[in-house]
Structure formats: structure tokens, C-alpha cells
Chain A
């Protein structure tokens, strides 16, 4: 066998190995989804969605967890959206290339790498103890907001960066102030990218379990929260609670709840991708 032939065989084998690896990841995803759907799909009905938690698996539902997740979703969006986009605008449009900007940039890169459970410890001490919010929806939302701020800021900056400077220059040349230019030109032109980032960040927040456990979200909450100061649970914590129980009925419940959680997560990711594609198609500079 010549060297060239040997090299060609190595080349081909690696190609096969590459295909195997790519499909390995996807096959695992498929097995995961298949197992959960087989176990849990039959359990999902109207009662499961509107029943309160219970000691008996057949009677237990996810109503309080779903309501808690919706509360967290709304409050976290209300807190993190304005702060994250505002910070992104400041860093990209105002603070460019100053010492402060590079400090902020390093800081945000580092924050993005801090494990989520550490944010839980921060929330526990600051929001739960010092602010006296207790294990409330508000304390949980504030904690998750800090967790997803870096994602929103980075996405906002990327989106703003993509707007060509000719647009901004034209606006400034017509006498618009810097903020008028940002508000009327730059932001509308980049809103698709900003929203994509925000939705992805929120969908990350919905799947988070650990920081909320540390902040003091409870595994068992008999009522859905009715104000930001109420105690709460969320779907991932309800799933964690059911997974840790030995009875098979609870594993079925966990699968059913996972289906609902995954539907929400994938739906949000789908919306984000849709926004991104629509926005990329519409605007051609």
C-alpha cells in the first residue's frame, strides 16, 4: 500500500467518525425526548395542568408550578429587559473605547462565566436577607435578572453593532441628537437582534433550577402566587422534587411536566430564531 492510499483511508475513516459523532449527539437528544414522551405524554390532561400538588401522584398537578413560572417570566422580563438593553446601549454607543468600557467588558465576560448557583448565593444574602424579600417571587426574579443580564447586554451590543454608521451619520447630520438617533434609527433597525437575545435569555431563566432553590423557592406550595411578595415554586423545581421521590407515579409526573417545560423552552427558542431570520431578511443594508 502506498502512502497516498494510506492517507486516503485515514481521511475516509475520519469522515465516517465525524458523521458518527454528529449523529451521536442528535441520537442522544432523540432518545431523551422519546423516553420522556413515552413515559409522560399519556399523563398530560386538563386536570394535570390545573391540579394543585399532592402526595398522591395520580392526583398531583402542576398548576402552582406553571403559575410560578409565569410570574417569574413576567417579572424577570420587566426587570432585565430595560436594564440589559440600557446597559448594552450605553456600552456600545456612549462608552466606547474608554477605560471604563474595557473594565465593564471584562467584567461582563466574567459574569457570563459565573455558575448560576453563585447567583443564588448572592440573591439569598442580598435580596432575601438584606432587602428582606424572603423566598418571594420578586427575590427569585431579581436573582434571575442578574443572571441573564450579561446575555442580554452582549446580544444588544451585537445587534447595535450591525447597524451601519451611515444610518447614524445621516441622522446626526440632519440635526438629531445622539439619543434621538439611537431611539429613532439605531434601535428600530436592530430590534430584531435585541429581541432574539432577550427571548433566549428569558428561556434560559425559565429552565434554571439551582439559583431558585438557593434563594428559597419551595418544593411544595399549596397556592399559586398572587403578588410579587408571595412564596412560589417553578416547573424545574417541581420536576426536581418529583424526580427525587421513589414512587414510579412521580417519575411519570416528572416526565409529563418535562414535556410541558420543553414545549415552552423550544417554543421560545423557535420564536427567537423566527425573529432573527425575519429581521435578517427584511433589512439589507
Chain B
């Protein structure tokens, strides 16, 4: 009999364990549901959008004025605005971030690296609305003192501040990649009489190139999706072109602009934010996939 009781509790344990595993599996599957949800929601509203607006107009019209009486639905002005601020941000973050990564890895004393790497990462912990305020009230007036023709809202200031925000993305991830390069490569280069500069650029950076590429792609993806800095400091005027001194509007800023107003559910204006959203999603999805592919393809090269 005793044996039977033991078996009973054993089965009970097995059973409750099954329930727990099912619950855990459900928790994990929520991430899949999220992805499906995002794609379904964007597709559903976008299909409705294209019932009223021609796809050709959407990708070729150079005007975006869905909130005006004279409506145009060309996404290009929002795309050029997004690309412009992203380009400026990367132009700041890439050279500065990569230099920091090389400096911390190859030049700085060990203690220096330990203190300054986390300190720089504070830059990424500051809420983006704070950066927006900083761009509008500090950086723009400063740039205007150098170049008086600069508009109060402009892509330049927003882009620069965005670049500063993503410096730690480039510097920390690139430094991780440099750190992962086998010591023997570095020592061999030094042994041949190379300077630290030569070792950095002829040996270390090429050896860590896949990791550095990943860090840059992630930074670009982050810049494309950044919202509050551009919504506050870059203006809300969709404009086709690449002039950094005038007000523009990015895809993200447009979505915020519409969301701040009172747009009725189911209206065409409501659907425009999903059409803009899917454009944004496609950009970042492609970039993320490329970075994931590089990571998978090259990460075990030196193991």
C-alpha cells in the first residue's frame, strides 16, 4: 500500500510539473503572438488604407498632406526626413563611437576602461524626451549662434543629439567585438613592430569587422525608429529633400503628431499612421535581419 501512495504523489508531481511547463511555454509563445500581432495590425489597416489611396501615389508622390484639405499621400517626404536625421546621427555616432571603442580597447589603461565604459552607457539610459528638450533649448540656439539662418526646428540639431544618444551603442558593442579578438593576433602585430594605431586599423578592426558592422546596423536601426527627439526638435513639416537647416518631419514624428490630435478610429487619417508604421517596420526589420544574419554567420570564426 505504501508503495501505491508514493506512486500517487509522484504522479501528482508529474502532473503539476506538466502544468508549469505549459504555463512557461505559453509565456514564451507570447513573443510569437506579439510579432504576429504587429504584422497583422499593420497589414490590416494598411490594406484598408490602400483601398482609398493608390500604392503608386504612396511611393512616388512628393507631398504628404493627409491632414490638410488638399490631400496628398506620398510617403517620400517622411522617408527623406527619416533618412536625413539618421544620416546625421550616424555621421556623429560612427566616428566618435568607433574611436572610443578602439581607444578603450587598445590605448586606455585597464581601470580607465572599467570606469568609462559604463559611464558612457549612461548616455543611452537618459529618456529620449530629455534629449529632445536638450536639442531644442541648448543645441539649436548654439548652432544658430554659428549659423544664424538655421530654423528653430531643424534636422541638424535633432540628428546631432540623436547621434550623441547612440554613441554608446556603437562604442560598447564595437568594444565587445574588439575584446573578443584573440590576444595572439594583437601580440603578433606588436611583435612585428607595429604601433597601436597600425595594429588597431590593420589587424583588430578587420578581425572584429562583423561585430562592428552589427553595432553600426543596430545604431542605424535605432536612429530610424527614434521618435521623441525628432518630434520635439525637428519640426512637423513633411518636406521632400535633404536640407538639414529647415523643419522636416520623420515617419515617427508624424505618428506622434496624429496621435496627439483627435483622429477618429477608422478614418483615412487614422489609417495613415499604420501605413507610415509599416514603412518604418520594413526598414528596421530588414536592418535587424541583416545584423542577425551577420552575427550568426561570423560569430564563431575564432572559436
**Chain A residues within 8 Å of B, Cβ to Cβ:** 7-8, 10-11, 14-15, 17-19, 21-22, 24-26, 28-29, 31-32, 35-36, 82-84, 86-87, 89-91, 94-95, 103-104, 106-111, 113-122, 124-126, 129, 146, 149-150, 153, 177-179, 203, 206-210, 213-214, 216, 219, 236, 239-240, 243-244, 251, 254-255, 258, 261-262, 265-266, 269, 273
Q: Within 8 Å of chain A (Cβ to Cβ): is B24?
A: yes
- Complex formed: what's the CA distance from A209 to B130 in Å? 11
Pick the residue among A8, A110, A213, A219 that contacts B289 (CB under 8 A).
Answer: A110
Return the contact of B134 from the options A17, A32, A90, A216 (Cβ within 8 A): A32
How many angstroms between the C-alpha atoms of A83 and B207 in the bound complex? Answer: 39
Is B224 an interface residue, CB under 8 A from the partner?
yes
A206–chain B nearest beta-carbon distance, Å: 8
Main secondary structure of the interface of B (DSSP, over half): helix
Cβ A240 vs Cβ B285 within 8 A: no
From known contacts A125-B41, A269-B125, infer whether A91 and B197 are also in contact, taking CB-CB under 8 Å.
no
Q: Does B99 contact A (CB under 8 A)?
A: yes
Q: How far is the CA of A255 from the CA of B104 in the complex (A)?
A: 33
Chain B CB within 10 Å, residue with most, of A22, A36, A95, A269: A22
Inter-chain contacts of A203 with B (CB < 8 A) = 125
Select which of B38, B128, B136 is within 8 A of A122 by beta carbon: B38
B67 within 8 A of A: no
| Complex Cα gap A83–B281 (Å) | 25
A126 to B42, CA, bound (A): 11
Q: Is the CB of A240 within 8 A of B281?
A: no
Q: Are A104 and B256 in contact (CB under 8 A)?
A: no
What residues on B are CB-neighbors of A21 within 8 Å?
A: 95-96, 99-100, 103
**Total B residues in contact with A, Cβ cutoff 8 Å:** 85
Interface string of B6-34 (1 = CB under 8 A from A): 00000001100100110111011011101
In the assembled complex, how far is the CB of residue A134 from the closest CB belonging to chain B, in whole angstroms? 11
Minimum CB–CB distance from B55 to chain A (whole Å) comes to: 20
Complex CA–CA separation, A87 to B32 (angstroms): 11
- A contact residues around B54 at 8 Å (CB): none
Contacts of B35 in A (CB 8 A): 107, 110-111
- Contacts A14-B197, A21-B96, A21-B99 given; does A209 touch B31 at CB 8 Å: no
Docked pose: A284 CA to B296 CA in angstroms: 31
**Does B120 belong to the interface (CB within 8 Å)?**
yes
Distance, CA A91 to CA B21, complexed state (A) = 11
Give B contacts to A, CB under 8 Å: 13-14, 17, 20-21, 23-25, 27-28, 30-32, 34-35, 37-38, 41-42, 44-45, 95-96, 99-100, 102-104, 107-108, 116, 118-120, 122-123, 125-134, 136-138, 164, 167-168, 171, 195-198, 200, 218, 221, 224-228, 231-232, 252, 255-256, 259-260, 265, 273-274, 277, 280-281, 284-285, 287-289, 291-292
Interface-centre pick from A19, A121, A216 (highest chain B CB count, 10 A) = A121
Q: Give the docked Cα–Cα distance between A2 and B219 (Å).
A: 40
Complex contacts, A82 vs chain B, CB 8 Å:
27
Nearest-Cβ distance from residue B277 to partner chain A, whole angstroms: 5
Nearest A-chain residue to B201, judged by Cβ: A14
Inter-chain CA distance A101–B17, complex, in Å, is: 20
Beta-carbon contact of A213 and B259 below 8 Å: yes
Q: Report how far A13 CA is from B20 CA in the complex, Å.
A: 60
Which residues from B are CB-within-8-Å of A17?
99, 103
Which residues of the other chain, A, contact B100 by a CB distance below 8 angstroms? 18, 21-22, 25
Q: Are A117 and B227 in contact (CB under 8 A)?
A: yes
Hey, which chain B residues are within 8 Å of A86, CB to CB? 23-24, 27-28
Instruction: Determine if B127 and A214 form an interchain contact, defined as CB atoms under 8 angstroms apart.
Output: no
Smallest beta-carbon distance A5→chain B, Å: 11
- Judge whether A265 and B126 touch: CB under 8 Å: yes
Which 8 pairs, one residue from A and one from B, show the smallest C-beta to C-beta distance? A115-B225, A18-B103, A207-B127, A86-B27, A113-B288, A90-B24, A210-B227, A11-B195
18 other contacts beyond A31-B138, A125-B274, with CB at 8 A cut-off? Answer: A17-B99, A18-B102, A21-B100, A22-B100, A83-B30, A87-B27, A90-B27, A106-B292, A110-B292, A121-B273, A129-B265, A146-B34, A179-B21, A210-B128, A239-B129, A239-B130, A240-B228, A254-B133
Name 5 interchain pairs, CB-CB below 8 A, sorted by A: A18-B99, A22-B100, A25-B96, A86-B27, A121-B38
Write out the residue numbers on chain A whose beta carbons fall within 8 Å of the beta carbon of B280: 115, 117-118
Bound-state Cα–Cα, A17 to B108, Å: 12
User: Which residues of the other chain, B, contact A104 by a CB distance below 8 angstroms?
Assistant: 28, 31-32
Contact B122 A177 (CB under 8 A): no
* A residues near B131, Cβ cutoff 8 Å: 32
- B126 → chain A closest CB, angstroms: 7
